[in-house]
Structure 1
């Protein structure tokens, strides 16, 4: 980062600090709804805490609990963030201060995006229309064109990123808003609807699935990819397992639950993929999250004041000392674990392809 870039970033943080401090003056409990006593997936009252953690990525204040249903295995944030809480914790993650960083991260994953598009080829090798729900800045759609050059890709998201995607030509048409609210005007319009790591962010996954059933034409396909809460990494790595992503991820669905719900809605599940959906970053992310948690904080507008020179130096020393561990974790992720991820039960995600009957 150049000196000018550092100065601009510091000025941006300083400009936002007052608003964040006003938001935090009343504490973070107001960002949480009342605790549920029943499972939002099956209605059972047999709940038990699965994980308690903090925001390990932005390090915004707050503590979060995931509960697990003893009957169906569904894991969900409880108490859940309110709409005000979701706005607070999403702010400056994908947009604002975090936009450039996240755009670089997502923009550099072309091979993964192309593999997702290729998952549809055995079932529809030439779809005419495709809607990507939760498209963000549209990087999946841009990469998928190399696999399906004759397909028209639309994007849907509730942030202004989807409008940026349209301006940049990554999507042919941008739909901005909540999918369930927009679904009636999209009825039976699409050959394929995709939801890549979207359902876990939604406040009501069942409403999103019903919206997908509405938007997919009869005979069309729904392509879903979500974190796998039954991955052994989820227990082995505990709070350092990246897919927990608190407080953004609200629901974690075991694959049997999602298959059953899709069948009830009138879909036929054609494929279930685990190894293909695995993203080989678990150990690297766990090491980084632990190092970042132990180190002094970087400056952020939700901190009362910028860290001093001594704290910044201490952070740099700790992160530098952690480089060998980060390199080792990367090598293990990519070359030792990845080929065996499904066999060892370590795949961190699963993908379903379903046809609307």
Structure 2
């Protein structure tokens, strides 16, 4: 069955007086070049409002016509990100749909993807939130010590719940000296999209890996044809929270330039069947759950076919340091 909203869940969570806010104060100056390759050949891919929380502001995704990197432009400042992240856990229907990619079954599949490699003694989950992935992954890797990082207090709650052993609050690049060469596996699951600098995150992840350790990355695929088909109603565009959407070729090129050996590329199994359901939910502002029955059925019926085409909405890469 499709997700249903909790009784009384609000879809507009702006605080009193914020609808009159000049949201432009939360943006950095607009870039005229691509943050990935430096090209000045940019095109506007998307212009939208906050369709998830209905807070004020207009957000633009630009795309480089040379390397295809997509990025928020102008980008939110740290204060802007904090403002738009603040109410994100509210139980609106689109957010419940978005969280299906963090379900128990998907987490088990991710953990099992590492069974091909030596059993890790230590594993760091970057952007772990409440530690739901480590809690599930421990069932597959019972002898592994799981730690987590997150910029919010959620990581400390994850430790209190026993889902991770060590909690590190903050951004991974700021924790490198403390964690250098400590881990056998580092996972970044739909984390790079939220990073102000994905390259900095990748370098930090490799720095905290031991020689021979593995980095597991899963991200939204900006080449997904659902983006073209659905436009601003494609849930994975994730504005204003997604700052970068990195094409697979760009990520592979960067990891190889950093000296990594690519051991797995998967554009099939990471696909999450929620594109049509998410679009309808956004369009209806999450207020008509019965209308989701048809798109929900289509998403799941078509998933075995779509995940083998350019309609797959995510990809996974595993590399060895």
Q: When the two structures are superposed, what TM-score results if normalisation uses the length of structure 1?
A: 0.82
Equivalence for 1:60: 55
How far apart, in 1, do the equivalents of 2:42 and 2:132 lie? 38
- Pick from 154, 176, 198 the counterpart of residue 183 of structure 1: 176
Matches within 5 A, 1:293-304: none
How far apart, in 1, do the equivalents of 2:36 and 2:187 lie? 21
- Pick from 186, 199, 206 the counterpart of residue 193 of structure 1: 186
Deviation at 1:330? 1.0
Q: Is the 8 A contact 2:102 2:133 kept in 1?
A: no
Unaligned runs of 5+ in 1: 294-314
Q: Is the 8 A contact 1:107 1:139 kept in 2?
A: no
Deviation at 1:341? 1.8
Normalized per residue, the structure richer in helix is: 1
Instruction: Find the residue that maps to 1:112 and give its secondary structure.
Output: helix
Q: Is the 8 A contact 2:123 2:145 kept in 1?
A: yes
Report whether the alignment pairs 1:148 with 2:148: no
Report whether the alignment pairs 1:134 with 2:139: no
Instruction: Find the residue that maps to 2:232 and give its secondary structure.
Output: helix
Equivalence for 1:330: 296
Report whether the alignment pairs 1:87 with 2:53: no
Equivalence for 2:320: 355
How far apart, in 2, do the equivalents of 1:24 and 1:281 lie? 30
Aligned-pair Cα RMSD in Å: 2.1
Cα deviations across residues 7-31 of structure 1 (Å, max 9, x unaligned)?
Answer: xx89xx8xx944xx2x555511101
Report whether the alignment pairs 1:123 with 2:89: no
Q: Is the 8 A contact 2:125 2:149 kept in 1?
A: yes
How far apart, in 2, do the equivalents of 1:148 and 1:181 lie? 28
- Pick from 234, 248, 257 the counterpart of residue 250 of structure 2: 257
How far apart, in 2, do the equivalents of 1:178 and 1:69 lie? 27
Instruction: Find the residue that maps to 2:175 and give its secondary structure.
Output: helix
Instruction: Find the residue that maps to 2:105 and give its secondary structure.
Output: helix
Deviation at 1:163? 0.3
Equivalence for 2:276: 283
Instruction: Find the residue that maps to 2:308 and give its secondary structure.
Output: coil
Instruction: Find the residue that maps to 1:52 and give its secondary structure.
Output: strand
Distance 1:206 1:172, change over 3 A: same
Equivalence for 2:73: 78
How far apart, in 2, do the equivalents of 1:174 and 1:341 lie? 38
Equivalence for 2:26: 31
Equivalence for 1:50: 45
Q: When the two structures are superposed, what TM-score results if normalisation uses the length of structure 2?
A: 0.91
How far apart, in 2, do the equivalents of 1:200 and 1:56 lie? 17
How far apart, in 2, do the equivalents of 1:149 and 1:330 lie? 35
Equivalence for 1:310: none
Unaligned runs of 5+ in 2: 1-6
Q: Which has the larger radius of gyration?
A: 1
Comparing 64-73 and 108-117, the one that deviates more:
108-117
